Amino acid sequence: MHHSSAPAKVILSGEHSVVYGYPCLVAAVDLRSEASVEIIPEGIIDVISDKLGRQSFNLAATNTEEMSPIASVAASAIEMAGHRGGLRIKISSQIPMGSGLGSSASVLVSVASACSNALGLRMSSEEIAAIASKGEEKVHFRPSGVDVNIALRGGAILYRKGRLPDSVKYPEEIKLILGYSGIPRKTGDMVKGVADFAESHRDRFEICLRSLGDITTRMSQALAENDMIEVGSMMLLNHVVLCLLGVSSEPLDKLVSSTLSSSALGAKLTGAGGGGCIVAISTSGYEGEVEQKIKQAGGTPFVVGISKEGVRSWTDRQQ
């Protein structure tokens, strides 16, 4: 059996503007998904997921357009390998779905990597990114590629569409406090909402995007210099601009402002918005106080570190 796991992510700055070519500062966090893949003689892709249940696709009777994102990634790998049988794929994930933490990209990168190993393809990172991204296109509208790239590489990166990401230095002991609103949402719907806003408020949209670009650049410098006060200020500015773009919501604003009456240095929504999570940072050692405020405001807090490790693979002896 061939296994791969990949991390979840938190966008520190640049969600939405990244879709339009601006930089995005994103960190891998220590919540992971895992895919285990075995070769089977039947011509099917059999997907067993802890969160979505079981689904099988007959390779002869189904084209990739009709397959689920996970099965379509596996089908691409099967085609690349010229493999005649099928694959059984088991998936487990610690990442809440629809929460802005990149659960789909993490799973698709794990699946692409484990399929590559099971089929002896030895895919490069670029090839894994390419087939996982095709799956992401089925999950949401115009994916920028940021989620797939951070799941592959780990650490913290400054990502721009179509370019190789730059690694960003960060204090190793940094803790991020997440607050889950409990409200799932679809990234694609939020991205479409921003596209509509761009049509109806062109000037304001351009100003927001340029501001998000500047905030992202400043935040990554501050992170590399361990200037957490500046990182926090940039987070707050970032949240305000995302509000103007129309992607925040009352529960997210409530969670963000709840943290400000504690030792938080800053907070913002993270990911597509609408629902999902906020991310906050605090003075080291005061994370518990921020968690408490998030709970009081109706959110579910969890504290995560930045995960150095991107995709990881291993094989056990059953095969």
- Active-site residues: which are they? 147
Q: SS3 for 167? A: strand
Site for ligand PMV in 5-34 (CB under 6 A): 11, 15-16, 18-19
How many residues lie near ligand PMV (CB under 6 A)? 16
Smallest gap from residue 188 Cβ to ligand PMV (A): 9
Q: Which is nearer to ligand PMV, 59 or 242 (CB)?
A: 242
Q: Is 156 in the site for ligand PMV (CB under 6 A)?
A: no
User: Binding ligand PMV by CB under 6 A: which of 155, 165, 266, 276?
Assistant: 276
State the minimum distance, in angstroms, from the CB of residue 4 to ligand PMV: 20
* Residue whose C-beta lies closest to ligand PMV: 271
Which residue in 188, 2, 186 sits closest to 112, CA to CA?
2
For position 102 contacting ligand PMV by CB under 6 A, the verdict is: yes
The two tokens of residue 210 are 């340029």
Element (H, E) at 56: strand 53-58
Check residue 241 for interaction with ligand PMV (CB under 6 A).
Answer: no
Asked if 219 interacts with ligand PMV (CB under 6 A), we say no
d(Cα 189, Cα 16) in Å, to the nearest integer?
A: 12
Beta carbon of residue 16, minimum distance to ligand PMV (angstroms, whole number): 5
In this structure, what is the dihedral angle of CA atoms 189, 268, 225, 227, given to the nearest 10 degrees?
A: 170
Q: Does 213 bind ligand PMV (CB under 6 A)?
A: no
Three-state DSSP state, 222 = helix
Task: Give me the helices (H) in 66-186, please.
Answer: 69-81, 103-118, 125-139, 146-153
Smallest gap, in angstroms, from Cβ of residue 15 to ligand PMV? 4
Residue 136, C-beta contacts closer than 8 angstroms, at least 6 positions apart:
69, 104, 105, 108, 143, 145, 147, 148
157: contact with ligand PMV by CB under 6 A: no
39 touching ligand PMV, by CB under 6 A = no
Strand-pair partners of 303: 177
Q: Which is nearer to ligand PMV, 184 or 305 (CB)?
A: 184
CA-nearest of 3, 228, 225, 25 to 144 is 25
Contact characters 123-152, ligand PMV, x per CB under 6 A? --------------------xx-xx-----
State the Cα–Cα distance between residues 186 and 282, nearest whole angstrom: 29
Q: What angle do CA 104, 108, 114 make, to 5 degrees?
A: 145
Shortest Cβ distance from residue 75 to ligand PMV (Å)?
Answer: 23
Both tokens of 209, joined, read: 């995007």
Beta bridge partners of 1: none
Nearer to ligand PMV, 86 or 143 (CB): 143
Q: Cα 18 to the chain's mean position, in Å?
A: 13
Give the binding range for ligand PMV (CB under 6 A) out of 64-72, 86-94, 269-277, 310-318: 269-277
- Residue 102: CB minimum distance to ligand PMV, A: 5
Give the nearer residue to ligand PMV in terms of CB position, either 108 or 121.
Answer: 108
Asked whether position 187 contacts ligand PMV by CB under 6 A, the answer is yes
Closest C-alpha among 151, 162, 143, 170 to residue 16: 143
286: tokens are 């005061």
Residues at the interface with ligand PMV (CB under 6 A) = 11, 15-16, 18-19, 100, 102, 143-144, 146-147, 187, 191, 271-272, 276
